[in-house]
Amino acid sequence: MASAETIPVSDALQILRRVFGYDAFRGDQEAIVEHVIGGGDAVVLMPTGGGKSLCYQVPSLVREGTGVVISPLIALMQDQVDALLAVGVRAGFLNSSQDFEQRREVEAAFVAGELDLLYLAPERLSMESTRTLLDRGKVALFAIDEAHCVSQWGHDFRPDYLGLSELHARWPDVPRIALTATATKATHAEIVSRLGLGEARQFVASFDRPNIQYRIAPKAEPKKQLLDLIRTEHPGDAGIVYCLSRNSVEKTAEFLVQNGISAVPYHAGLDSRTRARNQARFLREDGLIVVATIAFGMGIDKPDVRFVAHLDLPKSVEGYYQETGRAGRDGLPSTAWLAYGLQDVVQQRRMIQTSEGDDAHRRRLSQHLDAMLALCETVECRRVQLLNYFGQSGSPCGNCDTCLTPPESWDGTIAAQKLLSAVYRLQHERGQKFGAGQIIDILLGKQTPKVTQHRHDQLSVFGVGTELSESEWRGVVRQLLAQGLLAVEGDYGTLLLTEASGEVLGRKREVRMRREPKRERASRAAAT
Residues that bind Zn ion (CB under 5 A): 381, 383, 397, 400, 403
Strands 494-497 and 486-489: antiparallel
Does 72 participate in binding ligand ADP (rule CB under 6 A)?
no
Of 18-26, 62-70, 184-192, 286-294, the segment contacting ligand ADP by CB under 6 A is 18-26
What span, in angstroms and rounded, lies between the C-alpha atoms of 325 and 500?
Answer: 35
- Nearest approach in angstroms of CB 167 to ligand ADP is 21
Secondary structure (DSSP) of 391-405: T------SSBHHHHS
List b or e across 377-395, with b for residues whose CB sees 16 or more CB atoms inside 10 angstroms: bbeebbbbbbbebbeeebe
Nearer residue to ligand ADP within complex by CB, 160 or 301:
301
How many of the other CB atoms lie within 10 Å of CB of 99?
Answer: 7
DSSP per residue, 179-233? EES---HHHHHHHHHHTT-TTSEEEE-----TTEEEEEEE-SSHHHHHHHHHHHH
Nearest distance from C-beta of residue 173 to ligand ADP, angstroms: 26
SS3 343: helix
Percent helix, strand and coil across the chain, each to the nearest 5: 45, 15, 35
CB 49 within 8 A of CB 328: yes
120 makes contact, choosing from ligand ADP, Zn ion, none, with CB < 5 to 8 Å by partner type, with: none
Question: Nearer to Zn ion by C-beta: 282 or 320?
Answer: 320
Choice between 269 and 394, CB closer to Zn ion: 394
- The residue (of 46 and 504) whose beta carbon lies closer to ligand ADP is 46
Determine the 3-state secondary structure of 415 from DSSP.
helix
For residue 353, the minimal CB distance to ligand ADP (Å) is 35
Nearest-approach distance from CB 230 to Zn ion, in angstroms:
23
Residue 397 interacts with which of Zn ion, ligand ADP, none, CB < 5 to 8 Å by class: Zn ion
Residue 46 site contact among Zn ion, ligand ADP, none (CB < 5 to 8 Å, cut-off depends on kind)? ligand ADP
Binding-site partner at residue 22 among Zn ion, ligand ADP, none, CB < 5 to 8 Å by type: ligand ADP
- Bridge-based pairing state of the strands 212-218 and 238-242: unpaired
| Beta pairing partners, 489 | 494
The footprint of ligand ADP on residues 48-67 (CB under 6 A) is 48-54
Contact between 303 and ligand ADP by CB under 6 A: the answer reads yes
The option from ligand ADP, Zn ion, none interacting with 400 (CB < 5 to 8 A, set by class) reads Zn ion
474 interacts with ligand ADP by CB under 6 A: no
Residues between 21 and 40 that touch ligand ADP (CB under 6 A): 22, 25-26, 29
Q: Pick from Zn ion, ligand ADP, none: which does 410 bind, CB < 5 to 8 A by kind?
A: none
Whole-Å CA distances, 118 to 84, 86, 242, 263: 11, 15, 32, 34
Cross-strand bridge partners of residue 178: 43, 144
357 touches, from ligand ADP, Zn ion, none (C-beta below 5 to 8 Å by class): none
Q: What residues line the site for ligand ADP (CB under 6 A)?
A: 22, 25-26, 29, 46, 48-54, 301, 303, 329
